[in-house]
Structure 1
Amino acid sequence: MSALSGTASSVLLPYGTLQLWGRRLNRTLEETKLDEEEIDEVTDSSTTDPVAASERLVINVSGLRFETQLHTVSQFPDTLLGNPRKRNRYYDPLRNEYFFDRNRSSFDGILYYYQSGGRLRRPVNVPIDVFTEEIKFYELGEEVLTKYREEEGFIKDEPRLLPKNKFQRKVWLLFEYPESSLPARFLAIGSVVVIVLSIIIFCIETLPHFKQYRTIVESEDIGTNKLPAIQEDDLPTLDQPFFVVETFCIVWFSSELLIRFASAPKKILFFKVMMNVIDLVSIIPYFITLGAVIVDDPKRQNQTTSLAVLRVIRLVRVFRIFKLSRHSKGLQILGQTLRASVRELGLLVFFLLICVILFSSAVYFAEADADTSLFRSIPDGFWWAVVTMTTVGYGDMRPVTLWGKLIGSLCAIAGVLTIALPVPVIVSNFNYFYHRETESEETVDHSSSTEDDDEDKKLEEGRAVANKNRLTRKKQDPSKCDTSTPQCDNNSALKHNSVQIPLETFDGFHENDIEHRPSRSNTSNV
């Protein structure tokens, strides 16, 4: 019979054995209690703030330490530093500080945001794109980021409008957004080929070998001989190869413009977009030229005025080169940079205007007594001042006196300094838009993997919440216990206020420590 069964017979334990047994039982209960305390500590560790008692926050940013009061960052509880749960991920218990491997200089502006109660100022030695990334990292919010971009002169991104009709939406995406699908990309490539072909034809047809001339009569007075003259003919013929190619390009541009207008989500806003206006203006000269070819009279004389007007109208065809910006990210970035730098460019023009008037007036009076002076008036000196300040120096106008040359030297130095002042701001704006475009492309490429990671993260968070709720329920009701957890198995649980002695308690006992006696009715069962 087993010494531990206690079912078929009763056992009497010696006094020493009972003491040893009691000590092991107490030790087992104490270990179970410690396990429960560790569970409570792990459960509550995410909500406790290590620096709540000291009321002082020590922040280490790439080796540079900052100290501030806890109530300073607590003003903005939705930010990274203001939320204890968020910032505890960066807590170093050995040094009793928060460590961030971020840009040092940018943190001056971030800390000032908390100290000033919401005023964000970028340090002058930090680039705009770097400070923008720091704003996103410290989670200051989209409203703060939008306000910061407006203060820096950036254009607010407009939301993408799409038609409600399904077929209309597909057509709009096909012609307006080349990155939306593979057919849209092929259509964009075809449009770029047609634009380039049109620009090449516009340039080649002006070569002397391809020009056409007509003979006109200068006068038809009675008694005088007719004097014929040869003049360049700006009106093409309908069978001219260049005109045929131009017709094909115009048919493409017109069809593209009409289809995009028909599928536009809002017809009123369609021609408020500058690119659509350029598309319309670039095809108008063809129809004017076509009308002039149809009504042209070869016997008509003195067409100099009409031909001059026609040349000006045909010059508008050069605007087709701007159509390339619809399909070129580089040109779009350049346009956004110029739009964001309008204030700096305006200051540049204003400073140049002041310097032009100042130095042209000075060189005029300095060269007034020279017999060979080329500066006959102050407006004549405007051209010289502009050419000198931009360091072009054509040499058609130059000072000849000593004072005139000294003024010219000062003019060149002033031009270099004036032009160089807004260049860093423009370059910084270009870097910002370039990095933003690059990041958006990387975001699109990795969107699928990011979505999968988010789903895994949500699943893990859900499991953690479920485990935490299960532990909380166990703590509130010890009678309900999941036998699958090691802290709550049959060997160490408390069930219905009765003590179960674990089998491990009997490890080390020898059968000789237990006295076996026959079962009697008056003997207590253990």
Structure 2
Amino acid sequence: MDLITINVRGTIFMTYTSNIRNILLTSPLLNLNEHSKYYNKERKEYFFDRNASVFESVLDYFVTDKLHVPANICSERVQEELEFWGIPPRHVEKCCWKTFFQSTEDMNTLQQLLKYIPCVQRRDRCCSWTTVPMLSQISDVKARMWSFLHDYTSSTSAKVYHSLLCLTIVLSTILLLVQTVGDLRVEHSAVSAFNNGSSEALRKYWNTTPHVAVVFLEVITNAFLSIDWILKFIACPNRKFFMKHFLNVTDLIAWLGAWATLSFDIRPDAFFFSSNHVTAVVLPVCVLKAIRGFRVFRLISDNCGVKILMLSVRSSGRELCILLMTFSCAAVVFAILLYSVQLQSNSPMSPRNALVAIWWAVITMTTVGYGDYYPTEPLGRIVGVMCSITGIVLIALPVAVTSSTFNDHYNFSKYRACYQELLDKDKKTVHKKHKNDNEVTLF
């Protein structure tokens, strides 16, 4: 009988040497004899200081040729044990795939979260100051300035400044909105350069300027935001990463564009354009004004929940791409079908061509339903019903995946917050201990 005794951390296992098969050449079970470093001559057994629960699954695999992993042990630990015993992970049975592979997926999700929202608050890549042995006085001033401007938790004055900055952003956004109200705009003496073919709203916008009170508040808010951006750019330790940040770039364009539009609001008589160039000027001006709306994202940029939402959307990029491709194909198919069955209709509500029918398909599949075009023939109504049902199904499936991803990131964020509390608690304990030691030394 080739019966052998294996002691795994105090748990005794007995099996036949003939059962040990389907293992890698690196496995310690490959050559079990008296010369093995694991052999105990006194007890006449092989001792391994490894996990006994996993080895029970390993031994069961030798007997049954089926590898089942324990659900009460971390999957990473199971993988390490299987690697030690020389069993390829591909032999795991299908019924244990979820237990075995879920941990890897969870770790990937957790790594993404910690990279995006680290436990040790680094705030941003562009604000990570490295400790320099001989720190100059200028660098120290810049570091304090950056901490004051960027980290509102650094001091009470930083919190007050951050609150004032948020109020300024809110006021600037409100001013951007009220400028479009006709009662708050006044006519100026500049000659209109528009022809009669221009829209009434465009002529009214060009021939009027905001009220003087609105312009005055615009100057104050834009000056404050401009100075804030310039100071952050000067104090930032890594300006390359600072300029790569989307909100920093939009802030730069916003306050530069605001000064450009304010110059016209203050002195409209100084600008004259021919009727051939006015439209080309109005469009960039409107775009510059619209970019100012991105400032509101500053109010929620530091919110952890918003960061998790953005991370979930980024992590679900593949699913969203699949939705976009499937949605586009379905829209083209239903557009062609509707145009084909509506050819015999003389109704003005029928799409004029297949391209217009694509617009109808997108609006129908998203359940918006503007009603500018709709089917009037019986077959067209059937196509409309199929189109709307297909849109609901196509949108619902990827949204469920994205929602599940958000739920995973949110749960891991709660675990990260608990771990952060432990770090902060340890830091306070160490700081308190050092403080007590210093007091004892003084006495």
Same fold per TM (> 0.5)? yes
What is the DSSP-based 3-state SS (H/G/I as helix, E as strand, rest coil) of the residue aligned with 2:318? helix
Correspondence for 1:207: 181
Q: Taking structure 1 as reference, are residues 107 and 417 closer, same or farther at Cα in structure 2, changes over 3 Å only?
A: farther
**Alignment partner of 1:279 is 2:251:** yes
- Greater C-alpha Rg: 1
The Cα shift of 1:405 comes to 0.9
What is the DSSP-based 3-state SS (H/G/I as helix, E as strand, rest coil) of the residue aligned with 1:310? helix
Correspondence for 1:254: 226
The Cα shift of 1:431 comes to 2.0
The Cα shift of 1:399 comes to 0.6
Q: Taking structure 1 as reference, are residues 381 and 198 closer, same or farther at Cα in structure 2, changes over 3 Å only?
A: same
Choose the corresponding residue for 1:319, options 294, 298, 304: 294
CA distance in 2, matches of 1:268, 1:122: 50
The Cα shift of 1:347 comes to 1.6
Correspondence for 1:196: 170
**Alignment partner of 1:296 is 2:268:** yes
Give CA-to-partner distance per residue, 1:302-335, whole Å, 9 cap, x none. 5642344422322221121222233333332222
The Cα shift of 1:215 comes to 6.3
Q: Taking structure 1 as reference, are residues 278 and 335 closer, same or farther at Cα in structure 2, changes over 3 Å only?
A: farther
Choose the corresponding residue for 2:129, options 163, 168, 176: 163
Aligned residues: 358
CA distance in 1, matches of 2:14, 2:143: 59
**Alignment partner of 1:186 is 2:146:** no
Q: Is the 8 A contact 2:312 2:406 kept in 1?
A: yes
The Cα shift of 1:389 comes to 0.5
Correspondence for 1:265: 237
Letter in 2 for 1:285: G
Q: Taking structure 1 as reference, are residues 378 and 154 closer, same or farther at Cα in structure 2, changes over 3 Å only?
A: farther
Letter in 1 for 2:315: A
Correspondence for 1:385: 361
CA distance in 2, matches of 1:105, 1:312: 58
Q: Is the 8 A contact 1:236 1:243 kept in 2?
A: no
The Cα shift of 1:241 comes to 1.4
Choose the corresponding residue for 1:51, options 2, 5, 11: 11
Q: Is the 8 A contact 2:253 2:291 kept in 1?
A: yes
CA distance in 2, matches of 1:105, 1:424: 29
Correspondence for 1:360: 335
What is the DSSP-based 3-state SS (H/G/I as helix, E as strand, rest coil) of the residue aligned with 1:368? coil
Q: Is the 8 A contact 1:218 1:302 kept in 2?
A: no
The Cα shift of 1:251 comes to 1.9
Correspondence for 1:340: 315
The Cα shift of 1:113 comes to 7.5
Correspondence for 1:409: 385
The Cα shift of 1:366 comes to 0.5
Q: Is the 8 A contact 2:146 2:235 kept in 1?
A: yes
Segment drifting more, 309-318 vs 437-446: 437-446
Unaligned runs of 5+ in 2: 1-6, 17-22, 30-47, 56-69, 131-138, 194-200, 432-443
CA distance in 1, matches of 2:315, 2:238: 26
- 1 or 2 for the larger relative contact order (CA 8 Å, sep ≥6)? 1
Q: Taking structure 1 as reference, are residues 267 and 209 closer, same or farther at Cα in structure 2, changes over 3 Å only?
A: same
CA distance in 2, matches of 1:180, 1:89: 49
The Cα shift of 1:394 comes to 2.0
Letter in 2 for 1:442: C
The Cα shift of 1:359 comes to 0.5
What is the DSSP-based 3-state SS (H/G/I as helix, E as strand, rest coil) of the residue aligned with 1:265? coil
CA distance in 2, matches of 1:122, 1:192: 53
Q: Is the 8 A contact 1:105 1:123 kept in 2?
A: no
Give the helix-richer structure, 1 or 2: 2
Letter in 2 for 1:385: A
The Cα shift of 1:89 comes to 12
Q: Using the aligned pairs only, state the percent identity.
A: 23
Q: Is the 8 A contact 1:105 1:125 kept in 2?
A: no
Correspondence for 1:174: 148
CA distance in 2, matches of 1:118, 1:178: 49
**Alignment partner of 1:374 is 2:350:** yes
Q: Taking structure 1 as reference, are residues 259 and 109 closer, same or farther at Cα in structure 2, changes over 3 Å only?
A: same
What is the DSSP-based 3-state SS (H/G/I as helix, E as strand, rest coil) of the residue aligned with 2:369? coil
Q: Is the 8 A contact 2:363 2:370 kept in 1?
A: yes
Letter in 1 for 2:415: E
Q: Taking structure 1 as reference, are residues 341 and 352 closer, same or farther at Cα in structure 2, changes over 3 Å only?
A: same
Q: Taking structure 1 as reference, are residues 200 and 359 closer, same or farther at Cα in structure 2, changes over 3 Å only?
A: same
Q: Is the 8 A contact 2:175 2:218 kept in 1?
A: yes
Q: Taking structure 1 as reference, are residues 271 and 218 closer, same or farther at Cα in structure 2, changes over 3 Å only?
A: closer
The Cα shift of 1:109 comes to 8.8
The Cα shift of 1:390 comes to 0.7
CA distance in 2, matches of 1:436, 1:449: 20
The Cα shift of 1:381 comes to 0.5
Q: Is the 8 A contact 1:333 1:434 kept in 2?
A: yes
The Cα shift of 1:184 comes to 3.4
Letter in 2 for 1:418: L
Letter in 2 for 1:417: V
CA distance in 2, matches of 1:207, 1:255: 29
What is the DSSP-based 3-state SS (H/G/I as helix, E as strand, rest coil) of the residue aligned with 1:394? coil
Letter in 2 for 1:329: C
Q: TM-score when scaled to structure 1? A: 0.56
Q: TM-score when scaled to structure 2? A: 0.66
Correspondence for 2:41: none
Give CA-to-partner distance per residue, 1:426-457, whole Å, 9 cap, x none. 112222332343333333333344468999xx
CA distance in 1, matches of 2:242, 2:217: 28
Correspondence for 2:415: 439
CA distance in 1, matches of 2:284, 2:428: 63
What is the DSSP-based 3-state SS (H/G/I as helix, E as strand, rest coil) of the residue aligned with 2:244? coil
Give CA-to-partner distance per residue, 1:124-183, whole Å, 9 cap, x none. 878x9x847x97xxxxxxxxx4xx349x98794487452344333332233223344444
Unaligned runs of 5+ in 1: 1-46, 57-68, 76-83, 92-102, 136-144, 220-228, 456-526
Letter in 2 for 1:265: P
CA distance in 1, matches of 2:161, 2:12: 61
C-alpha RMSD over aligned residues? 4.7
The Cα shift of 1:370 comes to 1.2
Matches within 5 A, 1:231-242: 231-234=203-206, 240-242=212-214
